[in-house]
Amino acid sequence: MDLRIPEDIQLVGEGLLSFIDAEVVPLERANADLLRNERNLYGADGRYSGEVLQLRKQIRMKSAQAGYYTALGAAELGGGGLGPLAAAYLHELLARTYGPSRTLIHFVVVPSAFTNALTPVLKFLQPAAKEQFLPAIASGERTLCFGLSEPDAGSDVLAMKTTAVRDGDHWVLRGTKQWITNSPYADHAIIFAVTEPAKAGVRKQITAFFVDTRSPGFDVTSIIRVMGHLGGETGIIALDDVRVPDAHRLGEVGDGMTVAMTGVNAGRIGLAASCVGYAQWALALTVDYCKTRRTFGRPICEHQAVQIHLAEAAMDIFTARSTVLNCAWRLSEGAEARAEIAIAKAYCTEMLGRVVDRCMQAHGGMGMTNDVGLEALYRWARPMRIYDGTAEIQRRTIAMELINDTLRF
C-alpha cells in the first residue's frame, strides 16, 4: 500500500491553484463587499443575489474551459477521470490552501461529487439523455441538485414517501424533498421516488429520475437557513404532479438506491478530505499565532498547556488524513470500501470540530473574532457531522459490516 500522491496528480493540483489565483481570487477581492457581507450576499428571501449567482457561473464556465470543473468526472461522461485519490487530494488541497473564506472557490472549482458537474450518477442516464444534457452540465452552463432526503426520510431513506406513477411514456411525481443542496438554483434535479410500495417480504422499489426544474408542478418552496447564515443553498422541493419522460429515468426501475449510493459515497470522500484540509489550515494558522503571541514574557507556544492543544490537533489530522487516503486507495483498487468510507466520513467530520475548537482556544479572544476565520470554520464544521449521513448512521453502517463479517482488520 502506497499512500503517496502521484506526481501527475500533484501537478494537477499546482495547475488548479494557479488557475484559482489568476481567475478566482481577483474576482473575490474585487467583489469583497458583496461576498463577505451576509446582508449583501443574500436577498430578503434567503436566496443568493443575482450578482453572486452570475459570478459563480462565470467561474464555473472558466473552470470548465480549463478542465478543472470536470476533472473528477468519469471519462465515459467526458470528464478527466482522475479517480478517488485525486478527488481526495484536490479537496484537501483547496481547503488547506484557502481556508473557509472562499465563497466562489468552494462551490465552483472541483465541485461536490454529486451536487454538480459530471457527478457519477449521470452514468445511469439513458444514451439520448446523455447526449441532450451532458454538454451544458459539463460546460458549467447548467447545474444540478440531488433530491434524496425528505422531511421524514433523511437517515431512514427507505421511509421515503415521494411517489412516481407510470402514465404512458411518462411518470407522475408527487411528494416533498428537503435539505436539498443547490435546489433553489439548479436547472435539473435528480429525484428519487417510490415506484412500487412495500409488500409482504419485499422492500419498496425506489427509482431515480432526471427532472427539469422548470417543469410544471416543480417548486422550491423555501430556503432553509442554517447555522449562522441569513440564507443559503439548501431548500425544500414540492413536487405536484410533475411529469417526467421515462426516457429521463436514471438506471432501471427499482435501482434507485444503487444510483444514489454511487453519488453519496463519492461525495463523502470529498467531504472527509475537505475536513482534513480545513483542519490543516486551522492548525497552521494557530502554530504561527502561538509563535508570535506572548504571555508572561515568552511566546505562548512554549507553554505546555498550549503545546498539548497543538499536539492533539496534529494527532487528529494525521489519523484522519491516513484514513481518507486509505479509502481513496481502496476505491482506486476497485474495492467497495463501504465501511471504510463510513469510518472516514464520521471520523473526519468529528475531527475537524475538535481541531477547530482547540485552535480557537489557543487563540483566546482573537479566535472568536470574524477577522481570523476560525469562527466561520467552526460554524461550517458543526453541520458536517449531519450532512451526507449523520455520524450515527455512519456508525450503524460500520456496526452492520462488522456483524455481517464483511469488515475485518
pLDDT digits 0-9 by tens, 95-118? 999 998 766 776 566 666 566 789
Asked whether residue 335 is assigned to any structural domain, the reply reads yes
pLDDT for the residue numbered 160 = 94
Q: What is the dihedral of CA 123, 147, 16, 371, to 10 degrees?
A: -170
Same domain, 274 and 376: yes
The predicted pLDDT at position 2 comes to 78
The pLDDT, as a whole number, for residue 106 is: 66
- Per-residue model confidence (pLDDT) at position 54: 93
Over residues 56-71, the pLDDT tens digits come to 999 999 999 999 999 9
Domain boundary among 202, 224, 255: 255
409 within domain boundaries: no
For position 107, what pLDDT does the model report?
A: 57
**Domain tally for the chain?**
3
Task: Assess whether pLDDT exceeds 70 at residue 347.
Answer: yes
According to the model, what pLDDT value does residue 3 have?
82
Q: What is the pLDDT of residue 291?
A: 97
% of the chain beyond a pLDDT of 70: 97
127, 88: one domain? yes
Nearest to 289 by CA among 369, 345, 202: 369
Residue bearing the bigger pLDDT, 409 or 53: 53
Shared domain for 210 and 301, answered yes or no, is no
Tell me: do 226 and 163 sit in the same domain: yes
Q: What pLDDT band is residue 360 in, cutting at 50, 70 and 90?
A: very high
Q: Which of 281, 400, 270, 287 is nearest to 338 (CA)?
A: 400
DSSP alpha helix (H) spans, 195-334: 256-292, 304-332
Single out the residue in 79, 103, 138 at which a domain terminates: 138
- The answer as to whether 96 is a domain residue is yes
In this predicted model, what pLDDT tens digit does every residue of 211-264 receive, in sequence order?
999 999 999 999 999 888 889 889 999 999 999 999 999 999 999 999 988 878
Chain position carrying cell 463501504: 338
Instruction: Identify the band that residue 273 occupies on the pLDDT scale cut at 50, 70 and 90.
Output: very high
Give domain status of residue 134, yes or no.
Answer: yes
| Type of residue numbered 160 | M
Q: What is the pLDDT confidence band of residue 16, given thresholds at 50, 70 and 90?
A: very high
Q: Are residues 204 and 307 in the same domain?
A: no
Q: What is the pLDDT of residue 308?
A: 97
CATH number at residue 134: 1.10.540
Give the mean pLDDT of 151-158.
86
Structural domain that includes position 208: 144-255
Give residue-wise pLDDT tens across range 128-140.
Answer: 999 999 999 999 9
Domain membership of residue 1 (yes or no) is no
Residue scoring higher pLDDT (1 or 241): 241
Q: Which helix (H) or strand (E) holds 60?
A: helix 50-66
31-45, 203-217, 348-362: range with lowest mean pLDDT: 31-45
CATH of the domain at 175: 2.40.110.10
Pair 126, 154 in one domain: no
CA distance 124 to 150: 22
Q: How confident is the model at residue 172, as a pLDDT?
A: 98
Q: What is the mean pLDDT of residues 82-90?
A: 91
Q: What is the CATH number of the domain that holds 313?
A: 1.20.140.10
pLDDT for residue 91: 93
Same domain for 36 and 66, yes or no, is yes
Check pLDDT > 80 for residue 200.
no
Instruction: Say yes or no: 268 and 173 in one domain.
Output: no
Write down the pLDDT at residue 109: 66
In-domain check, residue 49: yes
Residue 251 included in any domain = yes
What pLDDT is recorded for position 318?
97
Cβ–Cβ under 8 Å, residues 353 and 385: yes
CA dist 87 and 273 (Å) reads: 8
pLDDT at position 387: 86
Same domain, 314 and 356: yes
Is position 81 within any domain? yes
Domain boundary among 138, 171, 198: 138
Inter-residue contact 314 to 370 (CB < 8 Å): no
The verdict on 158 and 95 lying in the same domain is no
What pLDDT was estimated at residue 36? 84
Residues 396 and 263 occupy one common structural domain: yes
Average pLDDT over residues 181-205: 90
Q: Are residues 107 and 150 in the same domain?
A: no
Q: What is the pTM of this model?
A: 0.93
The average confidence (pLDDT) of the chain is 92
How far, in Å, CA of 396 to CA of 387, rounded?
A: 16
**% of the chain with per-residue pLDDT over 90:** 76
The predicted pLDDT at position 262 comes to 83
User: For the residues 299-327, what does the mean pLDDT come to?
Assistant: 97
Mean pLDDT of 299-311: 97
C-alpha gyration radius of the chain: 22
Crossing angle of helices 256-292/84-98, nearest 10°? 40
Give yes or no for a contact between 158 and 203, defined as CB atoms under 8 angstroms apart: yes
